[in-house]
Amino acid sequence: MVNTCYIPKTLEEALKIRKETGAVPLAGGTDLMVAYKRGVGITPVFPFPVMIITQLDELKGIKVEEDGTVVIGALTTSVEIAKDERVPYFVRLAASKMGAVSLRNTATIGGNIGNSSPKGDLPQPLILLDATVVLQSLDNTREMKVDDFIIKAKKNQLAEDEIIVAVRIPKPDYTYGYYRKIGTRRANAISKLTLSSIMKVENGVITDFRASSGAAGPKVARSREVEKMLIGKPIFELSSFIEEFVEAWDGVISPHAMPEFRRATTKNMLRHFLSVCADQPEPGIIE
Ligand X SMILES: Cc1cc2nc3c(=O)[nH]c(=O)nc-3n(C[C@H](O)[C@H](O)[C@H](O)COP(=O)(O)OP(=O)(O)OC[C@H]3O[C@@H](n4cnc5c(N)ncnc54)[C@H](O)[C@@H]3O)c2cc1C
34 is a contact residue toward ligand X (CB under 6 A):
yes
Q: Which of 202, 208, 212, 252 is nearest to 230 (CA)?
A: 208
Q: Are 178 and 273 in contact (CB under 8 A)?
A: yes
- 78-115 b/e (C-beta count within 10 Å ≥ 16 → b): bbbbbebeebbbbbbbbbbbbbeeebbebbbbbbbbbb
Separation of alpha carbons 109 and 91, rounded Å: 10
Q: Which is nearer to ligand X, 191 or 265 (CB)?
A: 191
CA-based torsion, 7, 52, 132, 158: positive or negative: positive
229 is a contact residue toward ligand X (CB under 6 A):
no
Q: Are 226 and 248 in contact (CB under 8 A)?
A: yes
30 is a contact residue toward ligand X (CB under 6 A):
yes
Q: Are 195 and 267 in contact (CB under 8 A)?
A: no
107 is a contact residue toward ligand X (CB under 6 A):
yes
Residue in 14, 15, 23, 26 binding ligand X, rule: CB under 6 A: 26
Total number of residues shown for the chain: 287
Q: Which residues pair with 163 in a beta bridge?
A: 136
Residue in 23, 74, 146, 211 binding ligand X, rule: CB under 6 A: 74
Site string (155-174) toward ligand X, x via CB under 6 A:
---x----xx----------
28 is a contact residue toward ligand X (CB under 6 A):
yes
8 is a contact residue toward ligand X (CB under 6 A):
no
Residue in 17, 70, 87, 121 binding ligand X, rule: CB under 6 A: 121
114 is a contact residue toward ligand X (CB under 6 A):
yes
Q: Which residue lies nearest ligand X, judged by its C-beta?
A: 111
Quote the least distance from Cβ 227 to ligand X, whole Å. Answer: 24
Q: For residue 261, what are the contacts with CB-CB under 8 A and spacing of at least 6?
A: none
132 is a contact residue toward ligand X (CB under 6 A):
no
Region binding ligand X by CB under 6 A among candidate stretches 1-9, 20-28, 139-147, 220-228 = 20-28
Residue in 15, 23, 32, 79 binding ligand X, rule: CB under 6 A: 32
24 is a contact residue toward ligand X (CB under 6 A):
yes
Q: Which is nearer to ligand X, 192 or 200 (CB)?
A: 192
17 is a contact residue toward ligand X (CB under 6 A):
no
212 is a contact residue toward ligand X (CB under 6 A):
no
Q: Which is nearer to ligand X, 112 or 212 (CB)?
A: 112
Q: Are 105 and 139 in contact (CB under 8 A)?
A: no
Residue in 8, 25, 125, 255 binding ligand X, rule: CB under 6 A: 25
Separation of alpha carbons 23 and 48, rounded Å: 7
End-to-end CA distance of the chain: 52
Separation of alpha carbons 237 and 204, rounded Å: 10
Separation of alpha carbons 239 and 233, rounded Å: 11
10 is a contact residue toward ligand X (CB under 6 A):
no
Q: What is the DSSP string of 182-212?
A: E-S-STTPPPSEEEEEEEEEETTEEEEEEEE
Return residues touching ligand X (CB under 6 A).
24-32, 34, 53, 74, 98-99, 103, 106-108, 110-112, 114-115, 120-121, 158, 163-164, 188, 190-191
